[in-house]
């Protein structure tokens, strides 16, 4: 078994034993279920508010597009939040507690140590977003009718890629610093910079946020393919991981 | 043959010189006690020798391999136990040892066999189904030693392996270390002198990043041997003992006298003269003695002489 798979097996066991996998699944599936429900019953929810009757009257009847929009917003927000929380301690805690030193004093390449963490977190999000996608699809089917299947799969793929950008960025922060807070801070700063990038005219097409626009477009909200944003996202992941591996190779433990 | 050799090893943290030209040699198959007060550079030496930290200057070889960060060939030949054994609390001991064995590329059947063997060696077979998170400090330490032995290392680095253990845990771990004599070279850092006296063949004393002395333990004791006598007076004789001790300082064959309650330690320059005169002198002074003996210097005496209060270099 190669060193990478040894490290990956440990990471996957850790995801399971420390209930991180379960938490990610529960949170994202819950929002997958709630998204079509919220869209469907939004007018009813408004009616419960003071003067809500008037607001409910001017809201157009909910459609599956509203369910999809809710799903994109919820899955992305909570996916990113989970990415930050789960990845910020991934390397920093191991450095701080000394388990990194104990592992890396053995013939375990440092790049395998980092990449295994990314792949394990990536698999956690693959499973969680897949289950959230199934849950959201099922409830949308019951409440509104069927969604186009292939575009739905593509949308979930784009959501996953968007979340993975923040997994990679947070992992880089976790590698550079010994403190979880600093690692999370770096990822949060990245989140703000990328959001600003999305609103700056001329460079907005580079923002990974555009992947969400593309996904919504695939589901019928209009808009074109965002290949540049796809390229930027993949490049951000690759560069973050490369930087993490190089920085970690030079670090004393 | 040498298991470890360092040549002018240096490690600086800003302006602080943690290692200041450390040169030492450890023979193969010995249990080497690396002694020094807190902050002397013991852990830094181990971190450099295991490839976890980079030397600022000088060179070092372990098992014939030049040390450096990320050296796979070095990693295959060493075992390492840090002061506080870090473990994954959500694993069971067999899972932990199996994971460590897998990093060395052992096959599944070899991993199972080695795990069983090591759990037996460190006495953790009965708790093999429990999560490590619930283990006592002593159990973690024993598991830490087991993980350091997975690859049958040529050189085993133990950083303060017993300093935080209770007497029973300390005895267990020291017995384990004694059992390793001849199987591999053990480089053990500690500040507990009694443990070094008990298990180590050779000793190196480090202070302020420099090696103060290095020798086999018996050679060291012989080198610094000073003839000394210890007398213990009867209970309640502290005043008489003190008065008598004061008279000893004037004698030409007495080098120094130290009084502690009813106990007197007399270091002499002429052993024969002391043998003839010391006991009669005490009896003449009317002391009733509980104990009278010629004492040999302990490692603690030597350590304090070399390191304590600036030491003699």
* Closest C-alpha among B147, B154, B149 to residue B184: B154
Percent of chain B at pLDDT > 70 equals: 97
Cross-chain residue pair A101–B86, CB shorter than 8 Å = yes
Distance (Å, whole) CA A155 – CA A35: 15
Cross-chain residue pair B82–A102, CB shorter than 8 Å = yes
Cross-chain residue pair A10–B99, CB shorter than 8 Å = yes
Question: Cβ contacts (< 8 Å) between B53 and chain A: which residues?
Answer: 252-253
Question: Which residue stretches of chain A have pLDDT < 70?
Answer: 1, 221
On the question of pLDDT at B3 being above 70, the answer is: yes
What would the pLDDT profile of B176-197 be if each residue is shown by its tens digit?
899 888 889 999 998 887 888 8
Position A62 scores a pLDDT of 86
Chain B's closest residue to A103, CA to CA, is: B100
On the question of pLDDT at B46 being above 80, the answer is: yes
Distance separating the N- and C-terminal Cα atoms of chain A: 25
Nearest CB to B52 within list A1, A99, A101 = A101
What would the pLDDT profile of B77-103 be if each residue is shown by its tens digit?
999 999 888 999 999 999 999 999 999
Distance (Å, whole) CA B33 – CA B201: 8
Distance (Å, whole) CA A212 – CA A77: 11
What would the pLDDT profile of B152-178 be if each residue is shown by its tens digit?
999 999 999 987 788 888 888 898 899
Domains of chain B listed by start with CATH number = 2-216 (3.40.50.300), 228-295 (3.30.70.920)
On the question of pLDDT at B144 being above 90, the answer is: yes
Residues from A in contact with B at Cβ < 8 Å: 1, 3, 6, 9-10, 13-14, 17-18, 97-99, 101-110, 249-250, 252-253
On the question of pLDDT at B53 being above 50, the answer is: yes
Chain B: give the shortest CA distance to residue A102, in Å.
Answer: 7
Distance (Å, whole) CA A60 – CA B38: 74
Distance (Å, whole) CA B258 – CA B264: 6
Cross-chain residue pair A1–B75, CB shorter than 8 Å = no
CB distance B143 to B135 below 8 Å? yes
Question: Cβ contacts (< 8 Å) between A117 and chain B: which residues?
Answer: none
Nearest CB to A3 within list B51, B103, B151 = B103
Cross-chain residue pair A10–B104, CB shorter than 8 Å = no
Position A183 scores a pLDDT of 87
Using a CB–CB cutoff of 8 Å, tell me whether B112 touches chain A.
no
Distance (Å, whole) CA B310 – CA B313: 9
Chain B's closest residue to A96, CA to CA, is: B86
Cross-chain residue pair B90–A102, CB shorter than 8 Å = no
Mean pLDDT for all residues in chain B: 90
What would the pLDDT profile of B274-313 be if each residue is shown by its tens digit?
999 999 999 999 999 999 998 876 777 777 778 765 544 4
Position B297 scores a pLDDT of 67
Question: Cβ contacts (< 8 Å) between B151 and chain A: which residues?
Answer: 106
Chain A: give the shortest CA distance to residue B111, in Å.
Answer: 12
Q: How confident is the model at residue B13 (pLDDT cuts 50, 70, 90)?
A: very high
Number of other residues whose CB lies within 10 A of the CB of residue B293: 10
CB distance B165 to B142 below 8 Å? no
Position B309 scores a pLDDT of 53
28-57 in chain B: CB under 8 A from chain A: 47, 50-54
Cross-chain residue pair A6–B102, CB shorter than 8 Å = yes
DSSP-assigned letter for residue A226: -
Position A1 scores a pLDDT of 63
CB distance B157 to B63 below 8 Å? no
Cross-chain residue pair A14–B90, CB shorter than 8 Å = yes
pTM of full prediction above 0.90: no
Nearest CB to B103 within list A17, A108, A250 = A108
């Amino acid at each position: 078994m190669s060193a990478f798979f040894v490290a990956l097996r440990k990471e996957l066991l850790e995801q399971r034993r420390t209930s991180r996998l379960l938490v990610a699944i529960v949170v994202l599936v819950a929002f997958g279920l709630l998204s079509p429900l919220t869209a469907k019953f939004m007018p009813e929810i408004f009616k419960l508010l003071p003067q809500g009757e008037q607001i409910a009257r001017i809201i157009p009847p909910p459609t599956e597009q509203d369910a999809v929009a809710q799903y994109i917003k919820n899955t992305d927000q909570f996916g990113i939040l989970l990415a930050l929380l789960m990845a910020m301690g991934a390397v920093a805690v191991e450095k701080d507690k000394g388990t990194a030193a104990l592992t890396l004093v053995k013939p375990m390449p440092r790049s395998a140590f980092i990449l295994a963490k990314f792949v394990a977190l990536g698999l956690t999000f693959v499973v969680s977003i897949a289950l959230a996608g199934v849950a959201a699809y099922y409830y949308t089917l019951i409440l509104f009718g069927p969604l186009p299947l292939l575009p739905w799969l593509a949308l979930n793929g784009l959501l996953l890629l968007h979340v993975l950008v923040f997994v990679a960025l947070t992992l880089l922060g976790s590698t550079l610093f010994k403190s979880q807070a600093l690692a999370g801070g770096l990822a949060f700063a990245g989140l703000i910079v990328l959001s600003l990038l999305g609103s700056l005219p001329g460079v907005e097409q580079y923002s990974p946020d555009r992947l969400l626009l593309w996904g919504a477009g695939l589901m019928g909200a209009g808009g074109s393919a965002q290949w540049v944003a796809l390229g930027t996202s993949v490049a951000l992941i690759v560069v973050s991981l490369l930087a993490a591996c190089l920085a970690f190779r030079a670090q004393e433990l | 043959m040498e298991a470890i050799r360092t040549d002018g090893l240096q490690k600086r943290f800003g302006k602080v010189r943690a290692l200041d030209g450390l040169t030492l040699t450890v023979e193969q198959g010995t249990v080497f006690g690396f002694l020094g007060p807190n902050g002397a550079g013991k852990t830094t030496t181990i971190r450099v020798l295991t490839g976890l930290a980079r030397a600022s200057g000088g060179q070092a070889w372990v098992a014939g391999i030049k040390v450096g960060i990320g050296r796979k060939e070095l990693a295959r030949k060493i075992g390492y136990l840090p002061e506080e054994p870090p473990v994954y609390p959500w694993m069971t001991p067999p899972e932990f040892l199996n994971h460590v064995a897998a990093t060395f590329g052992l096959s599944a059947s070899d991993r199972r066999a080695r795990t069983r063997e090591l759990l037996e060696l460190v006495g953790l077979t009965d708790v093999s189904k429990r999560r490590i998170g619930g283990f006592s400090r002593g159990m973690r330490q024993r598991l830490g030693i087991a993980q350091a032995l997975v690859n049958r290392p040529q050189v085993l680095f133990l950083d303060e392996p017993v300093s935080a253990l209770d007497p029973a845990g300390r005895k267990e771990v020291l017995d384990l270390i004694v059992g390793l004599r001849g199987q591999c070279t053990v480089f053990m850092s500690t500040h507990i002198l009694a443990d070094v006296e008990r298990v180590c063949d050779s000793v190196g004393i480090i202070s302020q990043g420099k090696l103060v002395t290095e020798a086999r333990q018996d050679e060291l004791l012989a080198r610094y041997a000073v003839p000394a006598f210890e007398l213990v007076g009867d209970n309640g004789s502290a005043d008489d003992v003190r008065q008598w001790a004061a008279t000893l300082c004037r004698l030409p064959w007495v080098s120094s006298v130290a009084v502690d309650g009813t106990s007197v330690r007399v270091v002499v320059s002429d052993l024969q003269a002391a043998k003839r005169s010391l006991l009669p002198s005490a009896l003449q002074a009317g002391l009733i003695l509980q104990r009278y003996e010629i004492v040999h210097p302990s490692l603690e005496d030597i350590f304090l002489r070399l390191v304590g209060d600036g030491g003699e270099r």
